[in-house]
Structure 1
Amino acid sequence: MDNLRLNLGCGGTHHPDWVNIDFAPRQPGVLGYDLGREIPFPDDTFATVYHSHLLEHLPKRAALPFLRECFRVLRPGGVLRLAVPDLEGIARAYLTAVDAVARGEADADARHAWMVVEMVDQLARHVSGGEMLAYWRQKPLPAQDFVLARLGAEARLAIASAGSAPLPPDPAAASALEIGTFRRSGECHLWMYDRFSLLRLLQEAGFVAAEPVAASFSAIPDFGRFGLDVEPDGNTRKPDSLFMEARKPDAPAVSGPRVVQVCMQHTGGAGSAAARLQQGLSAIGVPSFLYVSSSAGHIPGVAVIPAASGQTLLREDDGRTLTHSQWPAFVQANRATLARHTHRPPGLELFSESETAARLSDIPAMELAQIINLHWIGGTADICRDTAFLKGRPIVWTLHDMHPFTGGCHYAGSCRAFEQHCGNCPQLGSTDANDLSRAQWVRKMTAYRELDITLVCPSRWLAGEARKSRLFRKKPVHVIPNGVPTDVFRPLQRAPIRNHLGIGPDDFVMLFGADALTNRRKGFAELRAALERLRADNAVSGILLLTFGSNTGPDPASLPCRSLNLGRLSTPEELALAYNAADCLLAPSLEDNLPNVVLEAMACGLPVAGFATGGVPDMVEDGRPGRLAPTGDIEALARCIAALRDLSPQDRALSRLHCRETVLTRFSLPAQARAYADLYRQLLEARR
């Protein structure tokens, strides 16, 4: 693994000794990824990075970020080699053809016609094939020897097949949408480079010793044997190219352990927690990289798992979200499975199987990870199918719910079968001891026996449940609370936010968030009953229920107080505004781990009224940053809400300060990251 080589945008030119990756791979052994987004590998991974005729297909403003990604994944001292169409060479050849026409040389008109096509067409074309395909379809091909000398052997095949290709569509008949879609399809050149502009770009990206080189020369050991730039007969594969090489400066080795994290996504409850841990580890100098199945946008240190053979990456309509095909396939398969369990009770959330398409062992350079930190891995990583690769490797598994030690449910409710073995699953409506939950439980047990797993639970409650489970009772369990970015979630000027929402200065605003109000576990039925109790006591005057997470929200007519629904809030900044609009957060969950919403609200200075459920008491010390009721006790919950409403202005201000202080001292990202880093080092030292 000391000489890993990366070939980006490889097309049909690749070698089995390289990690080959392309936008839309067409051959086995080539991974798929949107390289204009990021390069999906950790920092300092490859000794060599190579790409040929890729850079010109990116928008000019995307070129520098892309080269910085190349720089990031290179090891210190590593070599970048790239080839682009040589703008200077093309321009000089065009001028030579112009001079030849002026002198009346034979065949000069044909050479000039070709040079105009070569110089302009791929920059300007509006339809696939453009004027270049039209030129190649001519029989006989004008200035054939000249064209082949310009483009090399690769063009010979393209020209030979041009006659059977359909005629390019008429650009004048294409709509603006069709043209725009085509222009971003990857076929067009979006910028051009000469040796000076490319040198400046490489230097700006951080490279040193950048210089043009011949196609047959390279500082990369044994580069010629791979046949990437030079054909077996010694001819240059793309003679119209400018070849350059540059080096990443040497640097001291990073002392921290190399960590690869895995989570289904970097948003949502578990996903946000994983992304924040990634952010915290990077901030304290621990090399860490997070792989996900779905990403809502580029985030440093995060990438979707590259698509292996038979898999694809799907770009959603928003243009930003990139999703591995295994995730929708996983969701569809689980829905089909649950549909067969016709006695499954209503109001339950996800019940999921452990099988997925992708394997961690299929991700190049995973062998370099000293610690693999798993999170919520449904539809993302099937460790039961990857035991041969994972065996002997230290695995830290951050639990975000109970699924890793159950037969498929994510919260077990009153069922305690996971303490012995699953079966007769109440969440499946099953009376069969050997049902799906038993099969999944046995599958996990068989795999876990082979693996070196250390558990991290964000809450004391979940740690206790894990220790009681038969699957994990012999595994070490640590409690490390999640951290929250206190620079984003912080107290803001509340009056302008409330004015914008039409909230009166004297309104007592209660905030409640849930993706689905029908999810029984979130406790909305208990919350509504508590509000009904307040109404019965004539105590709802001046109360406003502010909700978020669901586009529809609760039916206002069914509520005992006024309500306002904010819908789905897609960014942390939007959430922070919502927290700062409220006077208290309602947390009536019947089961929960260490919900991010409570930490985020408290970081904004928002006290909490809720049930003493799961990990909530770890965050909310009853009577100071909030009030907690016994889980399910509606009368007590109503009293908690009333107590916060009735605080004096001075006590309310003190409560806000205490909420903020609690998060700063116990739930900061640096504190979380340092605790994980210490655990990683302990695990590695124990193996020496």
Structure 2
Amino acid sequence: MVLHLSNFHLEGGAGVAAARLHRALLKSNVESTLLVSQVTANEPGVSNLSNNALQTKKALARFIGERLYFYPQEKDASVRFAFSPAEVGADISNHPLVQQADVIHLHWINFGFLSLDSLDKLFSLGKPIVWTLHDMWTFTGGCHYSRGCEKFLTHCHYCPYLAKPEEYDISFQQFERKQEIYNNTKMALISPSQWLDNLVKKAALTADITSSSIPNCIDTVLFKPLEKSVIWRKLNLSASKKLILFAGANTSDPRKGFIYFKQALEKIGLLSSEIEVMVLGKANPKAMDTFPLPVHYLGKISDPAKMVDAYNAADMIVVPSLEDNLPNTIMEAMSCGTPAVGFATGGIPEMIDHQINGYIALQGSAQSLAEGIEWLLNDENNARMSENARAKVLETYAESIVASQYQQLYQSLLSHE
């Protein structure tokens, strides 16, 4: 039995990716279980770590304790959730599902779900460990994305996320602790993008640990092309306009590059009368008042069917992330036949093949992003890109393809016990 561990169930990119892999494995007849802090919606094989009111309060206390530990040390509020000290977490080493598991598969385990001590106890059980990395935290001294800092290549210290960076600060201490608990652990580190796997192979903490790249997967039966005219009527959208979608968990997160999206639309100029924008995700609706084009603010949507409608309504999705692994939004849109424009950063160029199924813009360039949007607005380009986008997902990210790769990995680890 494979036990997946994820703080979140259907919240955030990592939680969604973990749940999708769990479902894909079940469809491939793999005995799979997913243990999360709190189940978002009942589904087969997904269990709560918090099964009653007391355990739910304890989970909240762990989250608060974790944040309070970091609060006095953070540089400012902008990095509050960008660094995880992993000081507070649950000890699940004696949990029945952990004891029954043949393979323990870690996903995103921060924010009070598991601590470094929790990991140490799990690793001490001697079971094969697979860890799917959804950001850089596994091989840094605490940051989820390094924002250009490369100290993780040698040894973290003088961390730029801290109010008082020092030689032996908490990033140094976490780095040392990780080094200690990673030693002699039978573990495989899996990165959804080749970009992240390349960093794993260079990072001082993980260079000697078995690693490879296996992408996240998606249900291509659910996320599929639909008749646009039907969706436009359903969402009360104009059939005469070109619709550009921005989808992000939080538009105020600088890493998501929303400001570049806005600047790019301001540069489009002559075509602006033909364009309207859809924004999907957490945002301040008042921020749309100063937008250069009409905006349809869809808010945060968790219903997959409504997400499929939004992707199908759009002529393209724009993902101007400055740092990202393998964004679910691009995969979801492309699976619906909606081509993507994104910056040449992280795993995005692995998903978008330039001028084949979308457009890759120069990182941090609103002008290049605008050029990509204009290029895709061409009807001939858009129709061709749409077909190619769907084909890329079917060939690379379909459930059966990804599940098969993980099955081979599990079997390899178990056969070497």
TM-score, normalising length: structure 2 = 0.94
For the 8 Å contact 2:247–2:280, the answer to whether it is kept is yes
The corresponding residue for 2:225 is 491
The corresponding residue for 2:301 is 569
SS of residue matched to 2:272: coil
The share of aligned pairs that are identical, in percent, is 35
SS of residue matched to 2:245: strand
The corresponding residue for 2:327 is 595
Query: Shift of the alpha carbon at 1:447?
Result: 1.0
The corresponding residue for 1:294 is 38
For the 8 Å contact 1:358–1:381, the answer to whether it is kept is yes
The answer to whether structure 1 residue 382 and structure 2 residue 90 are counterparts is no
Write out per-residue CA displacement over residues 302-358 of structure 1, whole angstroms, 9 at most, x where no aligned residue. 1112569xx9333xxxxxxxxxx4442233224323431363363774321213332
Q: 1:313 aligns with which of 55, 76, 79?
A: 55
The corresponding residue for 2:390 is 660
CA shift in 2, pair 1:386/1:516, >3 Å: closer
> What is the alpha-carbon root mean square deviation over aligned residues?
1.9
The corresponding residue for 1:579 is 311
CA shift in 2, pair 1:326/1:674, >3 Å: farther
Distance 1:589 1:389 in 2: 34
Write out per-residue CA displacement over residues 449-483 of structure 1, whole angstroms, 9 at most, x where no aligned residue. 14222101100001011111111110011110111
Distance 2:97 2:185 in 1: 20
Q: 1:366 aligns with which of 67, 75, 98?
A: 98
Distance 1:429 1:472 in 2: 27
CA shift in 2, pair 1:554/1:451, >3 Å: farther
Write out per-residue CA displacement over residues 586-622 of structure 1, whole angstroms, 9 at most, x where no aligned residue. 1100000001111000000000011121111111100
Write out per-residue CA displacement over residues 280-305 of structure 1, whole angstroms, 9 at most, x where no aligned residue. 11111111101001211211111112
The answer to whether structure 1 residue 542 and structure 2 residue 264 are counterparts is no
Bigger radius of gyration? 1
Query: Shift of the alpha carbon at 1:272?
Result: 1.0
For the 8 Å contact 1:347–1:520, the answer to whether it is kept is no
The corresponding residue for 1:278 is 22
Q: 1:679 aligns with which of 385, 409, 412?
A: 409
SS of residue matched to 1:289: strand
Q: 1:413 aligns with which of 131, 147, 159?
A: 147
CA shift in 2, pair 1:436/1:600, >3 Å: same
SS of residue matched to 2:299: coil
For the 8 Å contact 1:455–1:476, the answer to whether it is kept is yes
Q: Which has the higher contact order (CA 8 A, sep 6+)?
A: 2
The corresponding residue for 1:433 is 167
SS of residue matched to 2:131: strand
Matches within 5 A, 1:329-344: 329-341=61-73, 343-344=75-76
CA shift in 2, pair 1:283/1:573, >3 Å: same
Query: Shift of the alpha carbon at 1:389?
Result: 4.7
Q: Which is richer in helix?
A: 2
Query: Shift of the alpha carbon at 1:647?
Result: 3.0
The corresponding residue for 2:342 is 610
The answer to whether structure 1 residue 397 and structure 2 residue 139 are counterparts is no
SS of residue matched to 1:362: coil
* Counterpart residue identity of residue 105, structure 2: N
SS of residue matched to 2:273: coil
SS of residue matched to 2:276: strand
CA shift in 2, pair 1:466/1:299, >3 Å: same
The corresponding residue for 1:214 is none
SS of residue matched to 1:541: helix
Query: Shift of the alpha carbon at 1:529?
Result: 1.5
Stretches of structure 2 that go unaligned for 5 or more consecutive residues are none
Q: 2:355 aligns with which of 607, 618, 623?
A: 623
For the 8 Å contact 1:459–1:618, the answer to whether it is kept is yes
TM-score, normalising length: structure 1 = 0.58
SS of residue matched to 1:360: coil
The corresponding residue for 1:264 is 7
For the 8 Å contact 2:74–2:80, the answer to whether it is kept is no
* Counterpart residue identity of residue 572, structure 1: P
